[in-house]
Homo-oligomer: A and B are copies of this chain.
């Protein structure tokens, strides 16, 4: 049964949803690093063990990209999302290791109408990447622009 396409009005402050899981493999960690972030701790276990990460771990930008895919499949591709002007903050709390089964936990922090565009609303999210034990690997705060179902209505 197809879900109704999500609009700005469907996001309530305090709402929480969890997307995934997705298994992160050693192969993809090393492939991403070789292309975008070829620092030793993202390419090799021995090199990684000599760093603050304490072993092979994914590039932080790989974690961000994996988060994007989790939330894209989770709700963005079924929404009136219009993208984002940027990212408020990213924090990497724990190494993302090969073999971790990641999920994305999305919390709606606040919503407001756009001042300039009556068809657009803004939704500020906290996105957390969590592992099998609910330990937090990464947090992001990120504001998405989202089409309104009823343009110009008061927020």
Contacts and interface: CB of A to CB of B under 8 A. Distances in A.
Interface of A: 32, 35-39, 41, 51-53, 59-62, 64-66, 68-69, 72, 76-77, 81-92, 145
Nearest to A73: B38
Nearest to A53: B83
Given A36-B66, A61-B61, A77-B39, A92 B82 contact: no
Contacts of A35: 65, 69
A66 B36 CA distance: 6
A49 B97 CA distance: 38
Number of copies: 2
A125 B32 CA distance: 23
Contacts of A84: 60, 92
A148 to B, nearest CB: 15
Nearest to A67: B61
Contacts of A41: 83
